[in-house]
Amino acid sequence: MHVRGFVATLLVGLLGVCAGCGSGGGGEGPPPKPEPEVTLPGAPTEVQAQAGVRSAQVSWKAPASNGGGAIVKYTVTGTGGVTTTTTGATSALVAGLADNTSYTFHVRATNAAGDGPESDASAPVTTLALPGAPRILEVFPGNSTLQVSWAPPDSDGGTRVHSYVVQLLGAATPRSEATMSTSVQLTGLTPETEYQVVVRAVTAVGMGPPSAPRLSKTRCDNVGWTKLPQVSVEAELRGLVAGDFDKDGKPDLAGTRMAERTVASYLGQGEGRLRKQGEFGVGADPQQVLTGDFNNDSLLDVVVLNTRSQTVSVLPGLGNGDFGEGRGALTGAGPWAMTTADFDGDGNLDVFTVNTSLSTGSSTLSWMQGNGFGALTRQDFNLPFVALTVATADFDQDGHLDVALPASLVSDVYVYFGSGDSSSFRSGARYPAQNQPKHVAAADFNHDGRADLLVTSKGDSFNEPAVSVGLGRGNSTFEPAKRFAVLGEVGALLVADFDQDGHLDVAVTHDESKTVSFLRGLGDGSFAARQDVVLDAMPRGLAAGNFSGGDRLEVMVSQVGSTSLALLTTACLP
């Protein structure tokens, strides 16, 4: 064989043999490399927590050993068993926690081999709390508003108070209003209505508890008369006075009957009703009637001015609405009006009458001193003017009562200053008044503890009929009078706090228009705009009392030719 062919044949054989070297049929190769063994991961480290709103943000560091396998999740467990998981991240938000509660957290890592050990606990953290209750500082009422101010809560619960909610509770329509301030004005409320106000603070956690409630009543700036059903008294009455004659806590009524020469008594039944008790004889043409304890037995008596017989009659109260036989005492000639007071300070009620004789034109002031047993002793003082009414007060604050009298024909008011004894006046003073003053009253209209002087006057071509108030200075002088227009010459005058707002008001009658007018006192010596109500007949006497048992004084009004009394009360007008 040729050498070259032999070599080729040998190579082919060798290739055939080596072709099976990598097959199973060939010789044994090296063993495969084994997979690494995965063990449990270690514990995470440096677990920290930060409290939030019903949650906590937990973070940690991965374990020093992952056990040879990838960590597929972390499990965060908090106090009480609350858990959350994350896939690989080293922080997690744990939600669903309770407010204002302390929590600690553990973290465990998980790989293919399973759950590793828990980490050490985090430092405890406390979740945020609801804010505390604000404290209401003031609720200032307006006509249909409430101005509410408050102090922030002592605790904000760990997060900023971002707003407040003011709520009205118990109202016909519950209402709430949110604000970022610590004061708010609630508008659109119903005048003269009581509201309960609470305030709540609001944070990201939520709305905190309410403040202590504050009750406040909106004002009514438009008050006037409203008519209640008329009250039948089965007789035409003239002068009226109210008092608790039977000591049952309900106001009763006494009224004069001119033609019958009697004074009739009526016992209050509540709800504006009266029951006639009896009639008691007095003098001729009884006009004015007043009350007082003239015999010091703690029972109300009545004193009646009888114009035609020119006497006053003192009738002792018996405590059941009846009156005993009256004691009469002569006045000066032509009595027009009277008032009562303990003028000499002896503890016994006295009576003053102003008198003008139609035959002679002379005028007197009769001081009828009480003896504490129902009897009166008279002394007269000549007046250089005609007076139709009289009032008493301590105008100079010397501790002794003084007497004020309007001089109707010369448009002045005279004040005679008491000396404190039983026989004289110390001195007198004269003050200008508007046209033909008729009524005079003394009261503290501006709450300064000094007696002020109210005078009514007729109108003329230059001045409207008016009620004027001169504020007393306490030294026998007065500020310039403020005038408030009325419909016409005043027939009857009554001063009282009719709407029970703490300020004295004035009621006046006008015969021609059959009207009773209400002047609401504002507490500074001035009055709101006059409110009028028209009656069915001409008004005569006025008496104030809580005849219906409500929270306001009502006014009984006698009417000419009527056997019923008009009953008026103050109300909030639209």
By CB atoms closer than 10 A (0-12, 13-18, 19+), residue 70 is: exposed
Give me the residue label for tokens 């896939």.
Answer: 87
Calculate the alpha carbon distances from 26 to 12, 20, 30, 33, 444 in Å. 18, 5, 13, 21, 133
pLDDT score, position 478: 96
In CATH terms, the superfamily for domain 234-493 is Integrin alpha, N-terminal (2.130.10.130)
pLDDT score, position 427: 81
Q: Which CATH class is domain 45-127?
A: mainly beta
pLDDT score, position 422: 67
CATH number of 135-218: 2.60.40.10
Domain with CATH 2.130.10.130 in the chain: 234-493
DSSP state, 388? S
pLDDT score, position 420: 79
Name residue 12's beta-bridge partners: none
CB 86 within 8 A of CB 73: yes
Calculate the alpha carbon distances from 43 to 110, 340, 424 in Å. 10, 100, 110
CB 537 within 8 A of CB 561: yes
pLDDT score, position 36: 77
How much is the CA Rg of the chain, to the nearest whole Å? 48
Q: Per-residue pLDDT tens for 14-50? A: 444 444 444 444 456 677 767 778 999 999 999 999 9
Structure tokens at 471: 């504020």
Calculate the alpha carbon distances from 350 to 86, 314, 365, 371, 379 in Å. 98, 11, 13, 8, 11
Give me the residue label for tokens 């409500």.
Answer: 550
Calculate the alpha carbon distances from 58 to 78, 93, 116, 122 in Å. 10, 6, 18, 9
Distance of CA 323 to the CA centre of its chain: 41
Give me the residue label for tokens 């004061």.
Answer: 183
Which parts of the chain sit beneath pLDDT 70? 1-29, 33, 422
Structure tokens at 434: 């508007």
Calculate the alpha carbon distances from 548 to 430, 486, 544, 556 in Å. 43, 28, 11, 11
Domain with CATH 2.60.40.10 in the chain: 45-127, 135-218
DSSP state, 499? T
pLDDT score, position 360: 85
pLDDT score, position 28: 61
Residues 6+ apart with CB under 8 A from 441: 391, 453, 454, 493, 495
**What is the bridge-based pairing of β-strands 102-103 and 135-141?**
unpaired
pTM over 0.75: no
Torsion on CA atoms 39, 45, 48, 49, rounded to nearest 10: 10
The Cα 257–Cα 235 span in angstroms is: 8
